Amino acid sequence: MSELVQLTKDNDIAIITINNPPVNALSPGVPEGISDAIEQIDKDPNVRAAILIGGGRTFVAGADIKEFGKITSGQTRRGVAFLPLLLRIEDCSKPVIMAIHGTAFGGGLELAMAGHYRVGSPTAQVGQPEVKLGIIPGAAGTQRLPRLAGVLKAVEMCAVGNPIKADEALKLGIIDRIIEGDLLTGAMAFAREVAGKPAPKTRERNEKLGTPERNAGIFAAARELADKKQRGMMAPVAAIDAVEAATHLSFEEGCQAEQKLFTDCLFSDQSKSMIHVFFGEREVSKIPDIPKDTPLIAVNSVGVVGAGTMGGGIAMSFANAGIPVALKDADQAALDRGLATIRKNYANSVKRGRFTQQFADERMALIKPTLTYDDFQSVDMVIEAVFEGMELKKQVFGELDRVCKAGAILASNTSTLNVDEIASATSRPESVIGTHFFSPANVMRLLEVVRGRASGKNVIATCMGLSKKLGKVGVLVGNCRGFVGNRMFGPYRREAQFLVEEGASVEAVDKALYDFGMAMGPLATGDLAGLDVGWRIRKEYRHLEKPGERQPLAEDRLCEMGRYGQKTGAGWYKYDENRRPILDAEVADMVRKWASEAGVEQRQVSPEEIADRCIYALVNEGARILEEGYALRSVDIDIIYLNGYGFPVHRGGPMWYADTVGLPKVLERIREFQKHHGELWAPAPLLVQLVEQGKTFADFDKKHLAAS
């Protein structure tokens, strides 16, 4: 038997235990071990029932995702085929009871469904999250789940990928009993109840497969939803097709249909990209020079300076994580406005069923408004979220230095300013760091943690850990202008504007990037964020502009006209009272006029050029950032773009996307743009170097890791 699977006995009950930490993935050796155990159980006349359970923190979290790359590149031995093993379990002559704690995900749930019964601890979760990796269940999950849970729920679970909790799984019939107390003890009692009785095989249970009329509506609605919410992704559609196959084909034929769809997805760029994202999200928390055991600062209370949009959202993030917040603003009216907005946001969450009234009330009670810094004397951390201006920030940090206790973390939510200069206003730069939240801060997952020259390792490690506590993904970035995300966003939006000046329409630019998969086009994003934000920053940095360098013509002028975007009812677009965009011919005429005055030649611009210009502007700037060391790895940049800027997850992030296109091709296109549009398009030296060496950004990351 494999060392990953143990077989023991308690009188007439056999116990199969999987021990493959951390999450009991079905790595090579696990299916073999289960197969051997089932053979022995079948043969042993003294065994009347068997229990399969996970050792450690969980049941089985699915197939081993690390193996997928080997499968698609043909490097792996496939071991015991998983699908036939599941049939073998189902055909075992003794009832097999699956005892679930933690997560039975993907292949884990498929394994569980091949058992004759399932019992679970109250905190167990089950799910088919494969779509989140760009694939679909590959071992009859799409065939057995509708047989247990019904078609409607099976489609949802397979196409959306969200897990469900034990109580819902019980109601649906996915599990048969919830075990309070010790799981194995409860499972043993259950096993003795069912031993010797005829055991149900999931694959033979057809009573929940519905009628063609009802199913047609379910599948149509699921496809419509996938089209809207998972735009451009192939796996959700494949998952729906596979579940549909279960409703009109035999189990065996359904499995064959599933296999074909599974393989198509597995070998696609989309699944490779999404698996890159899965590991990337975990990778970004690893900082080479900050050991895992770095002592953390306990953050049990925080202060937030500024009750505006950002400050309010940040206060909500902490309150939602159960951390009390003192929220300060300079004047009562601003504080009242900020609190009213927070209250309204909570009320909306209750209305939409996201929070219960009680949860919202409790969170609201954690936010204590204040007009004075005195309330910050005892807090463990302060996040400053005042207006984006250096003088004001320095003044605030001077105050914080005066009132806050020694060791308190002093964080700035600046999105562009120099963290070291902010730190210079204090006597303790080692306690100062940037925490760049994204708007709306209580919703957006990204947190850029900005490392200043003097930021202490414990301060950095605490902020990275805190991001998880807040339900966010923290990415450590260096202290350059705009940090990583906004620094790259500059050239991206610059190109979008240049394209309009050169003859593309506003809607054509936005549509090309929306069709690429971005959540919104770049011009519409500007209107949403407020064009005045960039305008104000540009004024602050005007002295750094290189003389003669081409600058976008429109946004400063739109701002001078009071067209700040959605909030003023007009920007690149006009907006109705529901903030729906309306094309504005006036803007098109004005841009044409400004462009002709500036001598910008008008021409036809293709959607392909629009996407390439904007996306490769991201890639080129990303390569510079990487080379300069302001991002640790290319995958860090990807995670930033996926979580903060609406980059499509199935393309893996800008740097990964460039790898999939092929860096030589990307470089060639960038050189073309350089020829036509000048030195703003000078290729990043790192990009040139990687192409010369025949390497990718992923190779760069590997080398970087090996060196650290």
Amino acid at 445: R
Bridge partners, 478 (sequence order)? 451
Compute the residue count for the chain: 708
Among 141, 530, 654, 683, binds ligand T1G (CB under 6 A): 141
Residue 291 is a binding residue for ligand T1G (CB under 6 A): no
Closer CB to ligand T1G, 18 or 23, in the complex: 23
Q: Which of 51, 135, 233, 315 binds ligand T1G (CB under 6 A)?
A: 135
User: Shortest distance, CB of residue 387 to ligand T1G, whole angstroms?
Assistant: 37
Give the nearest distance from C-beta 75 to ligand T1G in angstroms: 16
How many distinct helices (H) and strands (E) make up the chain? Answer: 30, 19
Query: Do 259 and 245 touch, CB atoms closer than 8 A?
Result: no
Least distance to ligand T1G, CB of residue 646, Å: 23
What's the CA gap between 47 and 28, in Å, rounded?
27
Q: Which of the residues 39, 90, 110, 421 is marked catalytic? A: 110
> CB of 183: closest distance to ligand T1G in angstroms?
17
Nearer to ligand T1G, 468 or 580 (CB): 468
- The first and second tokens of residue 156, run together, are 């949802």
Residues numbered 194 to 213 that lie near ligand T1G (CB under 6 A) are none
- Confirm or reject binding of residue 61 to ligand T1G (CB under 6 A): yes
Minimum Å distance from CB 371 to ligand T1G? 40
Least gap, CB of 119 to ligand T1G (angstroms): 20
DSSP state for residue 564 in the 8-state scheme: -
- Can 627 be counted among the known catalytic residues? no
Cα(616)–Cα(666) distance, integer angstroms: 7
Reply yes or no on whether 180 is catalytic. Answer: no
103 interacts with ligand T1G by CB under 6 A: yes
End-to-end Cα, the chain, rounded Å:
38
Quick one: which segment of 101-109, 229-237, 370-378, 627-635 binds ligand T1G (CB under 6 A)? 101-109
Nearer to ligand T1G among residue 63 and residue 85 (C-beta): 63
Q: Tell me if 140 sits within 8 A of 110, measured CB to CB.
A: yes
CA dist 396 and 425 (Å) reads 9
Q: How many CB atoms lie within 10 A of CB 166?
A: 22
For the segment 265-284, give every residue that binds ligand T1G (CB under 6 A): 282
Out of 31, 33, 54, 137, name the contact with ligand T1G by CB under 6 A. Answer: 137
Q: Which residues contact 195 (CB under 8 A, 6 or more apart)?
A: 12, 13, 48, 49, 94, 95
Task: State the catalytic residue, choosing from 3, 32, 67, 130.
Answer: 130
Tokens of 587: 């803007």
> Interface with ligand T1G includes 23 (CB under 6 A)?
yes
Is 639 a binding residue for ligand T1G by CB under 6 A? The answer is: no
Q: Are 245 and 215 in contact (CB under 8 A)?
A: no
Task: Select from 31, 54, 95, 107 the one that contacts ligand T1G (CB under 6 A).
Answer: 107
Q: Is 648 buried (19+), middle (13-18) or exposed (0-12) by CB count in 10 A?
A: buried
Stretch that binds ligand T1G, among 63-71, 214-222, 554-562, 573-581 (CB under 6 A): 63-71
CB of 533 to ligand T1G, least distance (A): 34
Nearer to ligand T1G, 130 or 555 (CB): 130
According to CB under 6 A, which one of 7, 30, 51, 63 is a site residue for ligand T1G? 63
Handedness of CA 41, 46, 51, 55 (dihedral sign): negative
Closest CA to 358 of 367, 349, 371, 370: 349
> Among residue numbers 453 through 492, which ones bind ligand T1G (CB under 6 A)?
none
What track of x and - describes contact with ligand T1G for positions 226 through 265 (by CB under 6 A)? ----------------------------------------
Q: Which of 31, 95, 129, 648 binds ligand T1G (CB under 6 A)?
A: 129
Identity of the residue, 141 or 581, whose beta carbon is nearer to ligand T1G in the bound complex = 141
Three-class SS state of 412: strand
The strand ranges marked E within 344-499 are: 367-370, 381-384, 409-412, 432-437, 446-451, 473-478
- Residue 399: how many CB atoms within 10 A of its CB? 18
Q: Point out which span in 57-65, 182-190, 216-224, 589-597 binds ligand T1G (CB under 6 A).
A: 57-65
Rounded to the nearest angstrom, the gap between the alpha carbon of residue 144 and the centroid of all alpha carbons in its chain is: 29
Q: Is 139 in the site for ligand T1G (CB under 6 A)?
A: yes
Q: How is the chain split among helix, strand and coil, in percent rounded to 5?
A: 55, 10, 35
**Binding residue (CB under 6 A) for ligand T1G from 2, 89, 100, 110:** 110
- Of the pair 130, 659, the CB lying nearest ligand T1G is at 130
DSSP 147-178: HHH-HHHHHHHHHH---EEHHHHHHHTSSSEE
Q: To 5 degrees, how large is the angle CA 398–CA 401–CA 404?
A: 140
Helix (H) or strand (E) holding 611: helix 607-628
Give the nearer residue to ligand T1G in terms of CB position, either 66 or 402: 66
d(CA 557, CA 549): 18
With binding defined as CB under 6 A, does residue 609 bind ligand T1G?
Answer: no
Q: Which stretch binds ligand T1G (CB under 6 A): 126-134, 174-182, 414-422, 547-555?
A: 126-134
Catalogue the active-site residues.
110, 130
Q: Using CB under 6 A as the criterion, which residues of the chain lie in contact with ligand T1G when the complex forms? A: 22-23, 25, 61-66, 82, 103, 105-107, 110, 129-130, 133, 135, 137-139, 141, 282
